[in-house]
Amino acid sequence: MKKIILAVLILVFAQIFMIGCSKEVSKESEKEIKETIDLVLSYKNGYDDNMKKHISEDNFYICNYVEFYSLYIGELNLEKYESSIKNINKENEKYKVYMVLNMEAKALETHGDEESSDEAIGEDVPVEVVVKEKNGEYYIEGFTEYENLEKAKELNSGFN
């Protein structure tokens, strides 16, 4: 009888251990992570207290598309931003998120009486984002944008 109880306890602990160490990410966590990434990448109000919860200031200016493209085409309006997660893995308390973005931004430049419009368009832009849970919020620790989806698939199996 003791052997049966011991065997059952071992099986129960093994199941708990396997579930606790699972690399699977729940749909709810995936949704919250995606919302955080989308918020940071498309945020229009600069680095403020809302962003401090989710990303460092240095990383913000690298991965926020509004700020980044404003350096090249002037103040802009992000007219379209769509994203989809290709894959998400949990490794050592960090999530690696593989996404594809579609976006369109337009800037209106004025040179005296002359007006012209510049735009930045990204279609199927592959990005890898490293996210960690910090103080009950998801926090972006790393960001990599790849040249194109084919190149991303060559370099990283997370896009396959």
DSSP 55: B
pLDDT of residue 70: 86
Evaluate whether residue 85 is within a structural domain. yes
Evaluate whether residue 92 is within a structural domain. yes
**Which residues have CB under 8 Å from 51's CB, separation 6+?**
40, 43, 60
Q: In what order do the strands lie in the sheet with 94-111?
A: 76-91, 94-111, 114-134, 137-145
pLDDT of residue 5: 64
Evaluate whether residue 93 is within a structural domain. yes
Radius of gyration from C-alpha coordinates of the chain: 21
pLDDT of residue 17: 53
Evaluate whether residue 91 is within a structural domain. yes
pLDDT of residue 57: 97
pLDDT of residue 65: 92
Evaluate whether residue 21 is within a structural domain. no
pLDDT of residue 126: 98
Evaluate whether residue 136 is within a structural domain. yes
Query: Tokens standing for 119?
Result: 């735009």
Q: Considering only CA atoms, which of 32, 121, 37 is closest in space to residue 76?
A: 121
pLDDT per 10-residue tile (average), the chain, 160 residues:
62 54 81 98 96 97 91 87 97 96 83 67 96 95 96 94
Does the pTM surpass 0.85? The reply is no
CB 79 within 8 A of CB 104: yes
CATH number at 145 reads 3.10.450.540
Evaluate whether residue 90 is within a structural domain. yes
Count of domains observed in the chain:
1
Domain region containing 102: 26-159
Evaluate whether residue 49 is within a structural domain. yes
